[in-house]
């Protein structure tokens, strides 16, 4: 089971959330060394669509809600496997 971590670009993060402490390249570098991350998806979308999930063969998503201001809508998709 492959564990993906999605990292948004600086431009998108500033637009949606505000200023960042680290640059996107520093964030990519930091998370690629995490023991529970198998692959980092750079320049990820802010909203994950079913098409994105299918393209990357994602079966389950999760999000740490405490990092976002309320209200925040979180969707969990479970795609059928062959």
Q: Are 58 and 39 in contact (CB under 8 A)?
A: no
Q: What is the per-residue pLDDT across 54-71, written as a single tens digit (0 to 9) for each?
A: 888 877 776 655 555 544
Calpha distance 42→25 (Å, rounded): 9
Q: What is the per-residue pLDDT across 5-57, written as a single tens digit (0 to 9) for each?
A: 888 899 998 998 888 889 999 988 888 888 888 888 899 888 888 888 888 88
Q: Which residues of 20-46 are buried (b: 16+ CB within 10 A; e: fewer)?
A: eeeebeebbeeeeeeeeeeebbeebee
Residue reference for tokens 């740490």: 64
Cα 39 to its chain centre, rounded Å, is 11
């Amino acid at each position: 089971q492959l564990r993906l971590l999605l990292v948004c670009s600086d431009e998108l993060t500033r637009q949606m959330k505000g200023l960042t402490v680290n640059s996107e390249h520093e964030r990519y570098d930091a998370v690629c060394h995490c023991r529970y991350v198998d692959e980092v998806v750079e320049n990820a979308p802010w909203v994950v669509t079913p098409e994105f999930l299918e393209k990357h063969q994602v079966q389950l998503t999760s999000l740490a809600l405490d990092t976002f201001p309320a209200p925040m809508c979180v969707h969990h998709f479970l795609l059928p496997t062959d």
